[in-house]
Chain A
Amino acid sequence: MRGIRLVPSDINLNFIGMRFGAYMLSAFIIVASIFMIATKGLNMGIDFTGGTIIEIRTPVEPNLEALRSELNNLNLGAISIQEFGQVDDLLIRLPEQPEPEDWDKKESPNTIAIELVKESLSESFEGQEIDYRRIEFVGPQVGKELKLKGIYAILFSLMGIMTYIWFRFEWQFGVAAIVALAHDSIATIGLFAMTQMEFNLSTVAAILMIAGYSINDTVVVFDRIRENLRKYKKKPLPDLFNFSVNQTLSRTLMTSVTTLLALIALYVFGGEVIRGFVDALIFGIAIGTYSSVFVAAPVLLMMNIKRGVLSIDDKDTKETSDTAEAVT
């Protein structure tokens, strides 16, 4: 029982030769992402903006137009209603409610707004039972704090990962890894700006996991580059890099495929609530795979690494010599 191969073992694609094309593509992706983020902005969810969402399952197929006009008659600001996965599942968004001037600090205006919407819905469906599947309310102060927490989480994990790479490799590797990481994170955020998918706490979690995954891929390629740098002292660097990327290509693709298979199952069967999260992960895995081949390695090549620093370790040099024998 011999397995099939995703890529032939003697594959030798000239990735490094393609690097200028890749630079152009990546530069385009990054510029476009930043442009999108700057002009369209992110569709921040209530986690960050504050506000209320109500998910309901209606007893009969709803008339969206009628519901919309009735809810907007409540004078609660711009209320949006959208279908959520299926026709009788609706997601209603209320903006953050201002505190009335004569507020007695007892019942929050947001709570009152939720009650008003419930009453109005109950009238619209003539008393038939409505299933309130989810009600979430986030106050503006908490929203601000969650936003700050999200930014810290992303920054700290980037720093943590960079420190680890620094520690395990030489600094050039760390810089190249961070370039690839930033590339993936910016592209993912850009995707959210472009599609106007909701950007919320789980998106931040997804970006962190993409960072973890992308660095994972990059580390595998870098490990091989380092190994080959020790093994082949004479080989020109571009060839050596290309050789290393090709050697690890099969593994890079295999792992991406298994991860994507699992994610596709989650996308199709996991339900509407985590779809945004899974969307981000699928895109991130794809771009992470691209960046470890086309961005991380070429950037490392640009960094002008010196072979000398790499062969200080005694044990490694010994290993290198016996590997060299095995190869010849």
Chain B
Amino acid sequence: MVQIPRWKIFLILAVCCYGFAYSSPNMVGADARTYMQENLSSWLPHKTVNLGLDLRGGAHLLYQVDMKQVFRDREARFEEDFSNAMKENDLTKKSIALTEDGIVVELASAEEANTLKTIIRRDDPRLMISTSSDGATITVSLEGDYITQVQDQVIGQVIEVVRRRIDEMGTTEPVIQRQGVDRVVIQVPGASSDQVRDLVGKTAKLGFHLVGQPGKKNFREMTLPYVDEPGRDLNVKKNAIIDGEMLESAQPSFNQSGQPVVSFRLNSVGSRKFCDVTRKNVNKPFAIVLDNKVISAPRINEAICGGSGQISGGFDMKEAKDLALLLRAGALPADMEVVEERTVGPSLGADSVAAGKKASLIGLGFVLIFMVVSYGLFGFMANVALVVNIALILAILSSIQATLTLPGIAGIVLTVGMAVDANVLIFERIREELANGRTAISAIDAGYSRAMSTIVDSNLTTLIAAMILFSFGTGPIKGFAVTMGIGIMTSFFSAIMVTRLLVVLWLQKVKPKTVPI
């Protein structure tokens, strides 16, 4: 006990240096911090603690992607594909229907059913096909791996499109992640949820459709409402001539009469097709449809072959800008609904940071005073360890870029209260051993060794609670678990190693007969 090997002393000092150096960017003023961030090489301390949305302000939205609709759409497409396949191969379609179990196709005979099965298998081997007892009816369904693959693909596209849209806002460090099977979480610092919802909430599915006869809708047409004229609607062809994927670019601009419009350029496939269709349909109207609503239905005056054009729909400047942005970023592959939303304004965030700082410093002050009053010199040594502990927590949070939330600050404050526990255990034990008549050195020695197993037990149980909290918690609560968990580990180091080093140095220097504790 009285000796600590030299390498251990170096190790302890090195960890302390790490703590103070890497927590320093959080303590210095704004100018010095900017200097550190700009001029120090990457391994030197320059990172600060990453503040959570509840402290810096920002929007957190959880979206639920409508997967049911995605699968319904797929099935409808398969239904069409199968009908076409039967026509091409001269099979008799007795009936075809979408049911709960899948797409049920009834053919004339078992032979025909087998032919269709072979075709379906060839086109998409992932589909499940079951045959009825007489062999003439087959049921095609989407199952297992296929569903997982589609879900992964759709969510991947959603994240991609949302990222492109959010990036256009120019904010820093947005978080866009999948959560569970069919949810996407979006966190944008400094934004309000309105801003995010405006950008993300729209599917932005664009299509140019030819217009059908008014009042005479056939099965290849659908009736769509106008976007800004309630009650008025239009029959358009289901199949779009041009869709959003054929867009190369979209920009807000003005037309000859000075109204805001969206100018677009089509890619080569799109411009060829548009040229072709417009040539055949001169003097007929076509509809510009966004998210199943008609924006406008201009007349085709002549073939449009340059590959560029304008969408006008009585926009104001902001609407034109937003629409151009959405068209550039592409359409979402599915509808989404907000299921959770948390926005913190900048004023509350700043207030919380200030309150958290004040509370931590005052709490720390209380504990420091109380420890010196209770244990004198030893209390002072425990206090040194406590300060090292806080520096270490901040250093680790900064290094691993963990997110500090308001409950996280509470976690640090709580750690301050609990971190001294290890030293309290040791000091109380030393007192007892002294009361039992041990000499100074022997009492200190016994105090450390006897208290050790208790310290390990008590720290581990709290660590278990923190870890479970981390795995189940969300957002701010996770932040609490992180600081708590880090705090328990650093306090173990600082309380055992740092005070022990101080006590040993004191023993070697003073060679005391009694212990002032």
| A contact set with B: CB distance below 8 Å | 1-6, 9, 55, 57, 105-108, 110-111, 131-139, 141-142, 146, 149-150, 152-153, 156-157, 160-161, 164-165, 168, 201-202, 204-205, 208-209, 211-213, 215-217, 219-220, 223-224, 227, 247-248, 250-251, 254-255, 257-266, 268-271, 273-274, 277-278, 281, 326-327
Contact = CB atoms under 8 A, between A and B. Distances in A.
Contact of B472 (A9, A153, A223): A153
Contact of B197 (A111, A263, A266, A273): A111
Nearest to A209: B465
Interface stretch (B136-144, B215-223, B453-461, B496-504): B453-461
A133 B468 contact: no
Interface in B124-157: none
A153 B468 contact: yes
Contacts of B458: 215-217, 219-220
B340 A9 contact: no
Contact of B460 (A111, A137, A164): A164
Contacts of A247: 432
A271 B55 CA distance: 12
A271 B417 contact: no
A54 to B, nearest CB: 10
A156 B359 contact: no
A250 B375 CA distance: 12
Interface string B56-68: 0000001010100
B477 A223 contact: no
Interface string B352-363: 100110111011
B221 to A, nearest CB: 21
A248 B432 CA distance: 10
A115 to B, nearest CB: 9
Nearest to A260: B417
Given A3-B374, A327-B436, A160 B468 contact: yes
A273 B480 contact: no
Contacts of B371: 258
A131 B192 CA distance: 12
A268 B461 contact: no
Nearest to B60: A136
Contacts of B192: 132
Nearest to B443: A326
B464 A212 contact: yes
Per DSSP, are chain B's interface residues mostly helix, strand or loop, or mixed?
helix
Contacts of A211: 465
Contacts of B409: 270
B461 A161 contact: yes
Nearest to B369: A261
A165 B462 CA distance: 12
Contact of A205 (B365, B367, B480): B480
Interface stretch (B115-123, B299-307, B309-317, B418-426): B418-426
B476 interface: yes
B464 A266 contact: no
Contacts of B224: none
A266 B472 contact: no
Interface stretch (B32-40, B251-259, B343-351): B343-351
A262 B416 contact: yes
Contact of A269 (B343, B355, B454): B355
B454 A223 contact: yes
A139 B472 contact: no
Contact of B348 (A133, A224, A326): A133
Given A9-B431, A270-B356, 9 more contacts: A111-B197, A137-B342, A138-B340, A139-B64, A157-B464, A201-B477, A250-B428, A255-B424, A327-B436
User: Chain B contact residues (Cβ within 8 angstroms of A): what range?
Assistant: 35 or more
A208 B463 CA distance: 11
A157 B462 CA distance: 10
Contacts of B374: 3-6, 254
Contacts of B421: 216, 255, 258
B379 A3 contact: yes
Contacts of B341: 135-138
B399 to A, nearest CB: 24
A108 B338 CA distance: 7
B363 A277 contact: no
Most chain A C-beta atoms within 10 Å of own C-beta, residue among B197, B433, B460: B460
B435 interface: yes
Contact of B339 (A134, A139, A215, A281): A139
B65 to A, nearest CB: 12
23 contacts: A107-B201, A111-B197, A133-B347, A133-B348, A134-B342, A137-B338, A142-B339, A142-B340, A149-B472, A149-B474, A153-B469, A156-B468, A201-B473, A248-B428, A257-B370, A258-B370, A259-B414, A259-B418, A262-B417, A268-B362, A271-B352, A271-B356, A274-B406
B454 A220 contact: yes
A208 B480 CA distance: 11
Contacts of A134: 342-345, 348
A106 B201 contact: yes
Contact of A133 (B342, B345, B379, B464): B345
B376 interface: yes
B208 to A, nearest CB: 22
A141 B338 CA distance: 11
A217 B407 CA distance: 23
Contacts of B372: 3
B86 interface: no
B492 interface: no
A178 to B, nearest CB: 12
Interface in B317-343: 335, 337-343
